Amino acid sequence: MPRLNQLDEVLFPVEEHPVFVAVRMASGERRLPVPEKKAIVNAKSGRVLGVVSRGYRLVTNRQALDWAFQCCRTVFPETRPGEWEVRTTDAPATGGHCFIDLVHNSTALDFTFVPAKERPDAFGPFMRVTNSYNGLRALAFDIGFFRKVCKNGLILPRSVIRFSFAHLQRHIGETIKFEIAHDQLAEMKASFGAYLDALRNCRVCRAEFEPLVCGVLLLRKPKSAKPGSREARDWDALQAHLKEMCCRYADELGENAYAVFNAITEFASHPPDNRCVHREHHSFERQAGAWLYDFSRECREPDFSLAKYLEKVAKGNGNAKTGSEPVTRRRA
């Protein structure tokens, strides 16, 4: 299904409308109000985006974007408002929710963790705002990292700053106050470099790349992928995509976990349109960030065995902490 990838496509006007239910009675059909519900409607197309509770706090995508710029200035006070720009926009065709990424347009915030001779392996921060009109996703502001040379991104779930607000009137006021402990931000930058170094020092032979990528991102061959079926053809196409990607990073970065990490983040940031891929890039990038934290520690253990680790991820147990809470407190 096509997606909305332009900013103006998600900045459509929205309205709140009362909800009625049609009831057939002996005297004819009547429309009865549903007082505890209201509908969020795309005022341009007339499409109902969601039916939510009366306590739902509507935040437009435009307002969420304005708050995201404010959050960027709070987290990185050394920057100016005009230095942040929208890099990517992603939403389903329905427009029920969206993700908007902001990046800093200069090199002042580059996180360069490798010697100069090995550049341009530079990482930069991005801010992702998530908003929804159907109540299924909280209003959230996430700090992530992306590798600038290829724009692969990830969201770090533990040392990152995250602000999340349920779409309820008691949680979201007319303004949002973002608070951040800047010592945690400095620690985040330092630890990120250490995690990448651990991956560079972890040997992974070329034959282990695809099993590791599939295990981390929970890519599984569908049970319905019988020979000759559409699912089987899609699975074959997905395997070919993974092989090309893994070969490219193995040639570029060597046979190590850092090369695998880059394959994971490329897939996460640019998942192919394939019947065997069921999640959005936001979810994949969270998975990639959680794996970086967990694996970089685990691979430094004296008794670490990649073969045993692959057995674990093959069973879906290699990234069990992806749902953990970030370190900063939520506040409205």
Does the pLDDT at position 110 exceed 70? no
> 124 is written with which tokens?
């930069």
**Amino acid letter, 81:** P
Rounded Cα gap, residues 146 and 288, in angstroms: 11
Residue percentage of the chain with pLDDT more than 90? 46
Query: Rounded to two decimals, what is the model's pTM?
Result: 0.78
Q: Where are the alpha helices (DSSP H) in 76-139?
A: none
Q: Helix 257-269 crosses helix 182-200 at what angle (to 10 degrees)?
A: 120
Lowest mean pLDDT among 174-183, 230-239, 301-310: 174-183
* 302 contacts: CB under 8 Å, gap ≥ 6: none
278-288 average pLDDT score: 87
> 238 is written with which tokens?
């997905």
Query: Comparing 317 with 7, which gets the higher pLDDT?
Result: 7
> 218 is written with which tokens?
């929970």
- Per-residue model confidence as pLDDT tens digits over 130-189: 999 988 888 888 888 888 777 788 876 544 556 777 777 666 767 777 777 677 777 777
Q: What is the pLDDT of residue 169?
A: 64
Strand ranges in 26-169 using DSSP code E only, listed in sequence order: 28-42, 48-53, 84-92, 97-104, 111-112, 122-132, 139-147, 152-155, 162-165
β pairing state of 97-104 and 122-132 = antiparallel
Spatial contact of 242 and 214, defined as CB atoms under 8 Å apart: yes
Question: Residue 60 class from Cβ within 10 Å (0-12 exposed, 13-18 middle, 19+ buried)?
Answer: middle
Q: What is the pLDDT of residue 31?
A: 87
What are the φ and ψ backbone dihedral angles of 313, each rounded to 5 degrees? -70, -30
> 170 is written with which tokens?
């008691």
Q: Single out the residue of 35, 290, 27 nearest to residue 142, CA to CA.
A: 290
Q: Single out the residue of 165, 186, 180 nearest to residue 74, CA to CA.
A: 180
26 — pLDDT class (breaks 50, 70, 90): confident
Rounded Cα gap, residues 243 and 82, in angstroms: 41
Spatial contact of 75 and 178, defined as CB atoms under 8 Å apart: yes
317-331 average pLDDT score: 39
Using the structure block, give the residue that is written with the tokens 């065995």: 305
